[in-house]
Amino acid sequence: MFIIENYSVAVFFCIITMLCWGSWANTQKLAASSWRFELFYWDYVIGIVLVALLFAFTLGSQGAGGRSFLADLEQASAANLGSAVLGGIIFNAANILLVAAIAIAGMSVAFPVGIGLALVIGVIVNYLDNPVGDATLLFLGVSLVVAAILLNAYAYRATSRQRQGVSTRGLLLSVIAGVLMGYFYKYVAASMYADFTLPEAGKLGPYTAVVLFSLGILLSNIVFNSLLMMRPFEGSPVHYADYFGGSGKNHLMGILGGAIWCVGMAFSIIASGKAGPAISYGLGQGATVIAALWGIYIWKEFKGVPRSTTLILNGMLLCYIVGLGLIIAAR
C-alpha cells in the first residue's frame, strides 16, 4: 500500500485534508435552495463510501509496504473492526448535527464553532492516546483556536441581535456537534497499527480503517437520518419519496460533497502514520479557516454587519491561522 515516508509530505496531505473538509459544505449550499439537507445527506454518505472503497482498491492494494486491503481485512480482529465502525457512528451523529447547523446558521458559524471545538477536544484526546509532538506548542496552538471559537460565537450572537428571526439554535447544534466530533478520530486511530511500515496482527491498515469507518457511517445513517426526516430541526417532515423525486444535480451535489470529505479523511489517516494522530487531526481541522473564508467572503453570510463585527471576524481568522502554525511546528 502507499505509505508516507517523511513529515513534509504528511503536512502536505494534512493541508489537502484541510481544504477538503473546509470546502465540501459548498455542495450543500449549492443544493440548499431546492433540496433539504436531510435528503442531501443520503447522497453525501454514498459519496463517502464510494471514495473509501476506491482508495482501498487502488492506493491501499498497491506497493510493497504494509498489507493489501483484502489481506488486511481478512486478518483483522473483531475488536479493531468494531472500533473503526464505532468511529464512523460517532462521526455520523456529529456530522448530521453539523450539517443541520450549516443549514440554520451558515458555514461561517457552524464550522468555526463546531469544528473548532472538535479540534480542541480531538487534539487533547488523541495526544493523550499517542503523545507525538511538542506539548507546549501543540496546546498553545489549541488555546488560540479556543480564542477563535469564542470570537466567532460573539460575532454570531451580535449578528443575531441585529437581525430579526436569526435563531441561536444553529449555534447550539454547532456546539453539540463539536463535542461529538472531537471523539470519533480516536476510535479510528485506535484500530490501526502505529507504524504503517510494520503491520501488527489483528490491527488495521489506514485504508481498511477508512472503509470500516465509512460503513459505520452508512449503517448508522439508516437510523439517524430516518429519525431526522421524521422529526427535523426546522421545517416539515420529509419522506423517502422526496429523495427519489430529486434532480440529477441535487444527487450529484450530495455525492460530490461526500467524495470531497472522504478524500480529506483518507489523506488525514494516511498522514497520521508520520505526523501522529493529534497533529494530523488538528491540522486537518484547520478546515474551519477555509469554511469561514467561504462563508464570509463568498456566501456573504455576515453581509451588512457593523465594522466592529468585521474586526472580530478578522481576529478570529488570525487566531486560527497562528494556532494552526503552532500545531504544525509542534512536530
pLDDT at 233 over 60: yes
Q: End-to-end CA distance of the chain, in Å?
A: 25
33-55 residues labelled b (16+ CB within 10 A) or e (exposed): eebbbbbbbbbbbbbbbebbbeb
Give the pLDDT confidence of 249-288 residue by residue, as tens digits. 999 999 999 999 999 999 999 999 999 988 898 888 777 7
pLDDT of amino acid 166 = 47
What are the CA-CA distances from residue 320 to residues 6, 146, 290, 323 (Å)?
25, 9, 10, 5
**How does residue 47 score in pLDDT terms, banded at 50, 70 and 90?**
very high
pLDDT of amino acid 90 = 96
204 by DSSP, 3-state: which?
Answer: strand
Instruction: Report the percentage of the chain scoring pLDDT > 90.
Output: 53
Answer positive or negative: Cα dihedral of 174, 176, 179, 184.
negative
Extract long-range pairs of 34-37: CB within 8 Å, 24+ residues apart: 34/247, 34/250, 35/246, 35/250, 35/253, 35/254, 36/232, 36/235, 36/238, 36/242, 37/99, 37/100, 37/102, 37/103
Give the pLDDT confidence of 144-169 residue by residue, as tens digits. 988 887 887 777 666 655 554 445 78
Phi first, then psi, for residue 299 (nearest 5°) are -90, -5
Q: Which of 33-37, 61-65, 108-112, 259-263 has the lowest mean pLDDT?
A: 108-112
pLDDT of amino acid 107 = 65
Contact 212, 191 (CB under 8 A): yes
pLDDT at 109 over 60: yes
Give the pLDDT confidence of 19-45 residue by residue, as tens digits. 999 898 899 888 877 789 899 999 999
pLDDT at 181 over 50: yes
192 by DSSP, 3-state: which?
Answer: strand
pLDDT of amino acid 108 = 65
pLDDT of amino acid 285 = 78
Phi first, then psi, for residue 204 (nearest 5°) are -100, 150
Q: Which of 103-112, 185-194, 217-226 has the lowest mean pLDDT?
A: 103-112
In whole numbers, what is the pLDDT of the chain averaged over residues?
Answer: 88
Q: What mean pLDDT do residues 305-321 have?
A: 86
